[in-house]
Chain A
Amino acid sequence: MGAQLRVYRQRIRSAQTTKKITRAMELISASRIQKAQQRVAASTPYSRAVTQAVSAVATYSNVDHILTTEKENPRRAAVVIFASDRGLAGAFSASVLKEAEGLSELLRSQGKEVVYYLVGRKSVGYFTFRKRDYLRSWIGGTDQPQFETAKEIGDELVEAFVRDTDEGGVDEIHIVYTRFVSMVTQTPEVVRLLPLEVVDGVEEPEADVLPLYEFEPDADSVLDALLPVYIESRIFNAMLASAAAEHAARQRAMKSASDNADKLITDYTRLANNARQTEITQQIAEIVGGADALAG
């Protein structure tokens, strides 16, 4: 067998093996998207209920609590980045990190120091490679987020938010995650968790007089208890949304990889056939030439 033909056959085999892997990953992701989406849908009522309660309190009461009041001079902002643990998901992690960079730039231009909390191995890799500092990271389990992880992140953030700025606390908390829009579109999104920004589902009070809001046992303890719950639920929701988006991004990336492998295989098969034919033609020419020489 000619050398050229052997090379082509080798490449075809290599493309076929790669295709097997990418095809398998595509199918796995496709089956996991459904599940991830269901989890997002199932956790949304909780997240919405908590957000509405918090917004209602913030809108309807004049309680002085860090949850409801904005600090006058924010100096340090925490940014939580939700990337993935593993690659091969197209631009999933890259786009979320890019969004985070944009946010950091904006915060710095407002004169705030930015500290990072990272979720997912890819974001940690990005920071370590650039030798940049981050406060804490959580790796593992981005494709199937657990509530315990969200609780851990939440506790850490609440602790940092309650602490004084001079002692390393933060005045603002932002999260950057990927929202699952559809199977083909996933958009990175920035949400400011604290101080409160979103008031969806709550109408602005029409009258000047605030309706009497009753707190059991008292406003401070209720809001103290509400703060971690709110943070956790928002974080958990962001993690679930990111997971769904990650699977969708991976499925699409792996589909185009499989398609590319298909194309490569076709191309190399053509070339291999061509090489084989050339070889045969040459052999015939040689035999004919040899016979002619003997006959002559």
Chain B
Amino acid sequence: MPLQVNVVSADQQVWQGEADMVVARTTEGEIGVLPGHVPMLAILAGGEVRVTQSGGRKIVANAEDGFVSVAGDVVTVVARNASLVS
């Protein structure tokens, strides 16, 4: 089952969709999330969030000042400032 990914910033929803893997930079270093990950809440260190979709397509977003939450294959990247890079 693919991951449901949401990237939201304070004033809008930046991206939403399904993905195979999400890589985000937390204060402890980069962390990769695959389906079946344990529930997690981590603080973002700022920088890129990379979302890999099933076709191998990559979506890169800049996210600063927020956190990433994982609960039951739903990944939410919540950042005060977030924008899509590509």
Interface flag for A296 (CB, 8 Å): no
Interface flag for A127 (CB, 8 Å): no
Residues on A with C-beta less than 8 A from B9 are 46
In the assembled complex, the CB of B6 is this many whole angstroms from the nearest CB of chain A, namely 6
Contact among A42, A214, A216 for B43, CB-based, below 8 A: A216
Secondary structure type dominating chain B contacts: strand
Residues on B with C-beta less than 8 A from A212 are 38-39
Among residues 21 to 61 in chain B, which have CB atoms less than 8 Å away from a CB atom of chain A?
Answer: 26-28, 31, 38-43
**A50–B67 alpha-carbon span in the complex (Å):** 9
Residues on A with C-beta less than 8 A from B27 are 216-217, 221
When each residue 52-94 of chain A gets 1 if its CB lies under 8 Å from chain B and 0 otherwise, what string results?
1100110010000000000000000000000000000000000
Size of the chain B interface, CB-CB below 8 angstroms = 24
Residues on A with C-beta less than 8 A from B84 are none
Interface flag for B19 (CB, 8 Å): no
Residues on A with C-beta less than 8 A from B71 are 56
Interface flag for A236 (CB, 8 Å): yes
Is B6 touching A229 in the complex (CB atoms < 8 A)? no
When each residue 60-79 of chain B gets 1 if its CB lies under 8 Å from chain A and 0 otherwise, what string results?
00000011010100001010
Contact among A46, A50, A213 for B39, CB-based, below 8 A: A213
Secondary structure type dominating chain A contacts: helix
**A215–B43 alpha-carbon span in the complex (Å):** 9
**A232–B81 alpha-carbon span in the complex (Å):** 13
In the assembled complex, the CB of B9 is this many whole angstroms from the nearest CB of chain A, namely 6
**A222–B42 alpha-carbon span in the complex (Å):** 6
Residues on A with C-beta less than 8 A from B76 are 49, 52-53
Is B8 touching A216 in the complex (CB atoms < 8 A)? no
Size of the chain A interface, CB-CB below 8 angstroms = 28
Is B11 touching A216 in the complex (CB atoms < 8 A)? no
In the assembled complex, the CB of B84 is this many whole angstroms from the nearest CB of chain A, namely 15
Is A233 touching B10 in the complex (CB atoms < 8 A)? yes
**A53–B9 alpha-carbon span in the complex (Å):** 14
Question: Which residue in chain A gives the minimum CB-CB distance to B37?
Answer: A214
Is A42 touching B39 in the complex (CB atoms < 8 A)? no
Interface flag for A226 (CB, 8 Å): yes
Interface flag for A2 (CB, 8 Å): no
Q: Most chain-B Cβ atoms within 10 A of its Cβ — which of A57, A147, A229, A232?
A: A229
Is B39 touching A214 in the complex (CB atoms < 8 A)? yes
**A211–B80 alpha-carbon span in the complex (Å):** 28
Contact among B10, B28, B43, B66 for A236, CB-based, below 8 A: B10
**A57–B13 alpha-carbon span in the complex (Å):** 22
When each residue 145-178 of chain A gets 1 if its CB lies under 8 Å from chain B and 0 otherwise, what string results?
0010000000000000000000000000000000
Known interface pairs A216-B43, A217-B43. Does A42 touch B67 (Cβ–Cβ under 8 Å)?
no
Known: A215-B42, A217-B27. 6 other contacts (CB 8 A): A49-B69, A53-B69, A56-B41, A217-B42, A221-B43, A225-B67
State the B residues within 8 Å of A (CB).
6, 8-13, 26-28, 31, 38-43, 66-67, 69, 71, 76, 78, 80
- 10 A-B pairs (CB sep. < 8 Å): A43-B10, A46-B9, A49-B6, A52-B69, A53-B78, A211-B39, A213-B39, A222-B42, A229-B78, A233-B10
State the A residues within 8 Å of B (CB).
39, 42-43, 45-46, 49-50, 52-53, 56-57, 60, 147, 211-217, 221-222, 225-226, 229, 232-233, 236
